[in-house]
Amino acid sequence: MQKILVINAGMKFAHSGGKLNETITVWDRLFFTAKNGFELRITETGDGDYDIEEEIEKFLWADTIIYHFPIWWMYIPFTLKEYIDKVFTAGHRKGMYYSDGRKADNPTRNYGTGGLLGDKRYMVTTTWNAPEDAFTIPEEFFQGRSVDDGVLFPFHRMNAFCGLKQLPSIHFHDVEKNGSPELVEAFKQEYLLHVQSLFKNNGVIL
């Protein structure tokens, strides 16, 4: 059985209702079932109601970690950042990472290579008000930088610090200004095809 940890970082804040990330988590429940060969655990970070030591154990238990979160002001929600700061810091020498990877005889090299989760992978979904064209057209706001190579670059490096291997991300755009039930249904089909392609025959396909 493939062990899947879903971290849902959607929440109600200002004009954001957290509903789309909650809905994506429902899609996880539809796909990552025991019948399909998966064990699924879900953490909700929005209300801060989690036990740090239990979260460390979930990372050690999981084969794949899936993050769902909205982008607020060009980065992750503050509640997800708090979760990461608390859980990852507490995970030092408890199975998540041993050190920053450097050695005394060569202190300027190999930073970020002390992770202990090298047998595990992670996947990211994000939800945006920004349209996809804002990332693909050089003259637009993100100057041609993709989500993963731009806004999420430090997020990916953070996971790499613990040794986690990156799976292809999926990003949902224009969810506020042009959101509709039809758009959400299209997202659902896109997401299910995405996870089906990654978890063929209950194995991770890179």
Tens digit of each residue's pLDDT (9 = 90 or more) over 22-32: 999 999 999 99
What percent of the chain is predicted at pLDDT more than 90? 86
Return the CATH number at 67. Answer: 3.40.50.360
| Structural domain that includes position 79 | 2-202
pLDDT digits (tens, 9 = 90+) for 109-136: 999 999 999 999 999 999 999 999 999 9
Mean model confidence pLDDT for the chain:
94
Q: What pLDDT is recorded for position 95?
A: 96
**Alpha helices in 36-180, H assignment, sequence order:** 52-61, 78-90, 133-136, 153-161
pTM check: above 0.85 = yes
What pLDDT was estimated at residue 45? Answer: 96
DSSP characters for 8-48?
A: E----BTTB--HHHHHHHHHHHHHS-TTTTEEEEEEE-TT-
Q: What is the dihedral sign for C-alpha 126, 128, 132, 134?
A: negative
**Residue 203 pLDDT > 70, yes or no?**
no
For the chain, the C-alpha Rg in angstroms (whole number) is: 17
pLDDT at residue 205, rounded to an integer: 53
Q: How far is C-alpha 77 from the geometric centre of its chain's CA atoms?
A: 12
Quote the pLDDT of residue 18: 67
Q: Is 90 helix (H, G, I), strand (E, B) or coil?
A: helix
Band (pLDDT 50/70/90 cuts) for residue 15 is low
The pLDDT > 70 percentage for the chain reads 94
Total domains in the chain come to 1
Per-residue pLDDT reduced to its tens digit, 56-66: 999 999 999 99
Whether 104 shows a pLDDT value over 70: the answer reads yes
Residue pair 166/122 in contact by the 8 Å Cβ criterion: yes
Mean pLDDT across 58-84? 97
Give the list of residues 6+ apart from residue 197 with CB closer than 8 angstroms, or none. 205
Residue 206 has what pLDDT? 45
SS3 7: strand
Answer yes or no: are the C-beta atoms of 150 and 135 closer than 8 Å: yes
Alpha-carbon gap, residue 141 to 145, rounded angstroms: 9
